[in-house]
Chain A
């Protein structure tokens, strides 16, 4: 409880700061009188803040779900090829039917993300179960292979710039009203994970136990796959991949609160949202009025957090 209340306490001032921070100055007292200030708030600051919160929460939850699916703590959708698969889906639909509407592109990205993640799951089934570190390694190799394939195709077809937007460090400076609607789908997928929280938590106990309790492990895995793929695809399409959130946040929360997802998923979502928002704010402030991509800030902060996690003295 302590953790969750701290994070909730931090979210409010962070969100307020995010609404007030940007290249153009915003005077809260003039909001009622100045239509331009109002427009700045509603068209840029609020959408950006919401987009950051949704992305952080969804990526953190997708990280938890991914870790339950493979029963391994060292993976997240960004390190096992899910993001690269989504980008390949986007690339394919851009080449085949460039004029297709957004929902078709989104569908293509989601389906490809699902296929890529399913491929990863199929691969790691063949690994010896005790080799914990082989799982993330295979993920890194798979994502490397997928990324090279995407790069090759993009290079040949002159689409490297698109690929860069999707897979390079994600950033939120381009988010304005009406251009982040897809993230609400990621948010919905996060809610789906919460509805299925008990089932996903059970998955962590292994397929035998799940079967013994009368659940179909394959059905639960499909559901988890859907959540991971939807979240990743929507984030990749809208802001590009944001690293580390799905890895660090679930690990920190599991250390403090355990893996009873019914209780921890809301905390995971809140911590993820707060972390990405704090990093986005930092990125906006470090070289004000210029911006650093949130992905870069997270890369630095996230790795520090992870090192702290590894070296922190264990409680007796």
Chain B
């Protein structure tokens, strides 16, 4: 479980998060939704200790993120940030290999190599393993970064907009993959998504933010209602049902 208590964050005079408190369940997929500037990424980055915590307390499986050694946290949670524009010319398998860093600290053993191969395979990157990242399409590169996170083999995966640059087929495949990680391997996934229907179809738990506050949280059927959605996004939209899950008609 990730416990978030009274977390506030300010940049200059602007309040990004205002006394946010919630618990993200273990063994489930949690989606953070909300309009641009709601504070989703900031919250995720604070949990991932990528930003210094200004106010409040965050604990991952009981480990306070400000006090626990960074390496111990890296063995518990893997993070995919939004800034994946890198200048380095690395091959896909080298990048994915860096995901094993918390385990080997520069001395990879056969188990690390096997984990890298498994991660490449899981995201259909095996044929691209020897290619340089700057020779890939945006979607392929995004998958390489997700595979790197996956190779870290942690109980928690924190993903900031993992569907960026992915086409429909790859986006669905990634969500299905994450879903099976949760169901079959007991992992916990927290992700920021813009398209609410991915949250509707795959998430177990949704946290909706607006203006730095949590507006609603709970299972998709409870959060994705016309009233709450209108409150979050400031526009009317109908919600129907498909295969027992909410389907938000926000595009018409």
Contact = CB atoms under 8 A, between A and B. Distances in A.
B68 to A, nearest CB: 10
Contacts of A201: 88, 90, 98
Interface residues of A, number: 24
Interface of A: 68, 71-73, 198-199, 201-202, 204-206, 208-209, 211-216, 254-255, 258-260
A interface secondary structure, majority: loop
A259 B50 CA distance: 24
Interface in B142-196: 152
B70 A209 contact: no
Given A206-B86, A208-B79, A216-B70, 6 more contacts: A205-B98, A208-B50, A209-B86, A212-B81, A213-B152, A214-B74
Contact of A205 (B72, B75, B88, B152): B88
Given A211-B70, A258-B91, A258-B132, A206 B98 contact: no
Interface string B45-72: 1001110000000000000000001111
A302 to B, nearest CB: 21
A273 to B, nearest CB: 22
B87 A211 contact: no
A209 B149 CA distance: 10
A214 B88 CA distance: 20
Interface string B73-85: 1110011110100
Interface stretch (B8-16, B99-107, B215-223): B99-107
Contact of B102 (A68, A199, A214): A214
B94 A258 contact: yes
Contact of B101 (A72, A215, A260): A215
A149 to B, nearest CB: 31
A212 B45 CA distance: 10
| Residue of A73, A209, A258, A259 ringed by the most chain B CB atoms within 10 A | A209
11 contacts: A72-B87, A198-B106, A201-B90, A202-B101, A204-B90, A206-B83, A208-B45, A208-B79, A213-B102, A214-B74, A260-B91
B89 interface: yes
Nearest to A130: B85
A247 to B, nearest CB: 15
A131 to B, nearest CB: 13
A215 B79 CA distance: 13
Nearest to A203: B88
B106 A199 contact: yes
A73 B87 contact: yes
Contacts of B48: 211-212
Contacts of B88: 68, 71, 201, 204-205, 258-259
A194 B95 CA distance: 19
Contacts of B73: 214
Highest count of chain B CB atoms <10 Å: which of A72, A215, A260: A260
Contact of A213 (B69, B89, B98, B132): B98
B128 to A, nearest CB: 14
